[in-house]
């Protein structure tokens, strides 16, 4: 065990810090759930890619730097420290990217990854359906192979970023006689294909961060299948669950929230101390954010040495989503009567972005597999409790 960064890791940190200092936009971009903000964020992705910072863990030939997971954590620390924009293409780079690396053909990787890395193609995801939420194996949207094309019919819902995205990846039932997780296939398709209707769904903040997607005789070339036909479930599930989780929500994000919470407490000390529970909650926020960081480094190092990870990766989602909710709830307590005010309200001095974060934190225990589903996975697969 050696908990010092190597000279190379320190140099990497210095390099990204310097680049971000010179390139991060001076004022925050608009939300990527608006048309203008989406365009701004797409531009930012292009800029990142010019610096070869789009996805540092990817191989060099796809625009990455071939970095390991510890480098990735360092990158994220600097990224959040610099308050760089959120990643509009997170469905692509964090979720689909690792899956493509493992299951994509050489042709698919060469065709898709570089355009993903530079933000030219932004990805939406298409997992859930109206009757397949937590019970994802109940997927009904059909993809029928006719000649060399799949013909897709059905509906997806809660497709994050689908309103302005270019492509969608998702799972479709290719074997009409199949049930549950058999007979599903992982398919990639351009959202401008004829027969696709995207109906935006406003989220808690009023902005259309996700959408319903309807498919009516949508034709897509067979080459857009990822992995084997009928192997969709395995492709979606088997790929490095931990790595995807780590990329989607790395510790730096929550450590920065914890740091801002400490600042908020100190700036509003008299008000905050009227409720004795608040101080304890701030201490806990710091401890849990640090614990998440330490545990993530430990796992990243173990994986770097060839270790494997199993169902314990399901603990990750519960830990960070509850931490995020708790931190924002504490901030709301400190802000008191101002907490409900929208940032542009005339008397909302000092409220910062806490309300937005509070709203978003409500989604954490729900998306990417509800925390109840994660608890079932932990109990059954990690602890061995009976089904």
The answer to whether residue 347 forms part of the interface with another protein (CB under 8 A) is: no
223 binds another protein (CB under 8 A): no
What φ, ψ does residue 321 adopt, rounded to 5°? Answer: -70, -35
Part of the chain binding another protein (CB under 8 A), chosen from 55-63, 221-229, 230-238, 314-322: 314-322
User: Is 243 one of the catalytic residues?
Assistant: yes
Pairing status of strand 167-173 against strand 123-126: parallel
Residue 127: phi and psi, rounded to 5, are -100, -65
Which H helix or E strand runs over 41? helix 35-50
Whole-number Å distance between alpha carbons of 93 and 54: 9
First to last CA, the chain: 39
Applying CB under 8 A, among 92, 183, 251, 365 the residue interacting with another protein is 251
Q: Which stretch binds another protein (CB under 8 A): 221-229, 233-241, 284-292, 340-348?
A: 284-292
CB nearer to another protein: pick between 99 and 250: 250
x/- contact string, 48-87, with another protein (CB under 8 A)?
----------------------x---x-xxx-xx------
381 binds another protein (CB under 8 A): no
Kindly state whether residue 278 participates in binding another protein, applying the rule CB under 8 A.
no
Site size for another protein, by CB under 8 A?
62
DSSP 222-243: GGGEESSTTBHHHHHHHS-HHH
Does residue 366 belong to the site contacting another protein (CB under 8 A)?
no
Query: CB-wise, 13 or 115, nearer to another protein?
Result: 13
Two tokens, residue 89? 């293409």
Q: Which is nearer to another protein, 1 or 337 (CB)?
A: 1
Catalytic choice (107, 243, 263, 340)? 243
Contact 167, 176 (CB under 8 A): no
Residues 290 to 309: which contact another protein by CB under 8 A? 290-295, 297-298, 300-302, 305, 307
138 binds another protein (CB under 8 A): no
φ, ψ of residue 204 to 5 degrees: the values are -55, -30
Q: Which helix (H) or strand (E) holds 75?
A: helix 69-81
Q: Which of 57, 90, 155, 374 binds another protein (CB under 8 A)?
A: 374
Between 21 and 383, CB nearer to another protein: 383
Residue 104 in the binding site for another protein (CB under 8 A): no
How many C-beta atoms lie closer than 10 Å to residue 138's C-beta? 14
Residue partners of 33: CB distance under 8 A and separation at least 6: 163, 203, 205, 207, 208, 209
Q: How far apart are CA 186 and CA 140, in angstroms?
A: 13
| Tokens matching residue 182 | 């058999």
243 binds another protein (CB under 8 A): no
Give the C-alpha separation, 143 to 149, whole Å: 9
Q: Catalog residues that contact another protein under the rule CB under 8 A.
A: 1-6, 9, 13, 70, 74, 76-78, 80-81, 251-253, 255-256, 258-259, 262, 265-266, 279-280, 282-283, 286-288, 290-295, 297-298, 300-302, 305, 307, 312, 315, 318-319, 372, 374-376, 378-380, 382-387
Catalytic positions, please? 243
């Amino acid at each position: 065990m050696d908990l010092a960064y190597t000279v190379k890791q320190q140099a990497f940190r210095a390099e990204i810090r310097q680049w971000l200092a010179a390139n991060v936009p001076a004022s925050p971009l608009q939300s990527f759930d608006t048309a203008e903000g989406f365009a701004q964020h797409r531009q930012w992705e292009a800029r990142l890619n010019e610096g070869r910072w789009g996805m540092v863990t990817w191989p060099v030939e796809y625009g990455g730097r071939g970095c390991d997971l510890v480098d990735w954590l360092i990158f994220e620390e600097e990224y959040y420290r610099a308050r760089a924009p959120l990643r509009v293409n997170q469905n692509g780079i964090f979720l689909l990217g690792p899956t493509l690396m493992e299951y994509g053909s050489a042709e698919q990787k060469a065709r898709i990854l570089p355009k993903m890395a530079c933000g030219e193609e932004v990805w939406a995801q298409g997992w859930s359906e109206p009757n397949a939420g937590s019970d994802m194996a109940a997927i009904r949207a059909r993809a029928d192979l006719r000649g060399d094309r799949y013909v897709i019919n059905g509906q997806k819902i809660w497709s994050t970023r689908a309103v302005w995205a270019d492509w969608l990846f998702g799972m479709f039932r290719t074997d009409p006689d199949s049930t549950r997780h058999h007979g599903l296939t992982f398919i990639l398709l351009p959202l401008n294909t004829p027969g696709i209707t995207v109906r935006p769904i406003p989220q808690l903040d009023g902005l259309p961060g996700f959408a319903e997607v309807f498919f009516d005789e949508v034709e897509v070339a067979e080459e857009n299948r990822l992995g084997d036909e009928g192997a969709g479930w395995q492709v979606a599930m088997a790929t490095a669950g931990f790595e995807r989780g780590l990329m989607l929500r790395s510790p730096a994000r929550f450590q920065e929230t914890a740091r801002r919470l400490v600042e908020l407490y100190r700036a509003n000390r008299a008000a905050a101390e009227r409720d004795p529970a608040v101080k304890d909650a701030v201490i806990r926020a710091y401890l849990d954010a640090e614990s998440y960081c330490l545990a993530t480094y430990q796992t990243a190092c173990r994986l770097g040495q060839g270790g494997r990870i199993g169902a314990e990766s399901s603990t990750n989602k519960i830990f960070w989503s509850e931490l995020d909710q708790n931190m924002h709830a504490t901030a709301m307590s400190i802000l008191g009567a101002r907490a409900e005010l929208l940032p542009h309200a005339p008397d909302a001095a000092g409220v910062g972005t806490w309300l937005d974060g509070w709203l978003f934190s409500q989604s954490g225990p729900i998306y990417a597999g509800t925390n109840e589903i994660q608890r079932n996975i932990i109990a059954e697969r990690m602890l061995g409790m009976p089904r």
